[in-house]
Amino acid sequence: MTKSEKQSWEQERAKGHERFILRRGLLRAGLPFGIFMTLWIVLFPVFLHDPIPPIWEILVKFGFYTLGFGLFMGEVIWRGNERDYNKPTEDDDVA
């Protein structure tokens, strides 16, 4: 991670872990995955000429996929950035 990347991560980090998980995890990763999986749940039976699952089942699965994947990916990205942030860079070695 370069010095400028570290500075931008410090700004993001200052906003808080929960906000990062909400924005990067749930909104940027979880929501698109949940939409994709919901479309898959609805369209796959249509192509097979099977009955479509009930709406409550579709909504529960949408919530599960969105929250599960979003929280997981948000935490993975946060930890990866923290790990890279704590590693020394070439700029740090020179100083």
Per residue in 12-59, pLDDT (tens digit) is: 999 999 999 999 999 999 999 999 999 999 999 999 999 999 999 999
Separation between Cα atoms, residue 30 and residue 47, nearest integer Å: 25
Provide the pLDDT confidence category of residue 2 given band limits of 50, 70 and 90. confident
Q: Spell out the domain ranges in the chain.
A: 3-94
Q: Is 54 helix (H, G, I), strand (E, B) or coil?
A: coil
Question: By the 8 A CB rule, do 30 and 73 touch?
Answer: yes
- Tell me which of 2 and 94 has the higher pLDDT: 2
- Tell me which of 93 and 14 has the higher pLDDT: 14
Question: By the 8 A CB rule, do 85 and 9 touch?
Answer: yes
77 pLDDT more than 80? yes
Separation between Cα atoms, residue 44 and residue 3, nearest integer Å: 47
93 pLDDT more than 70? no
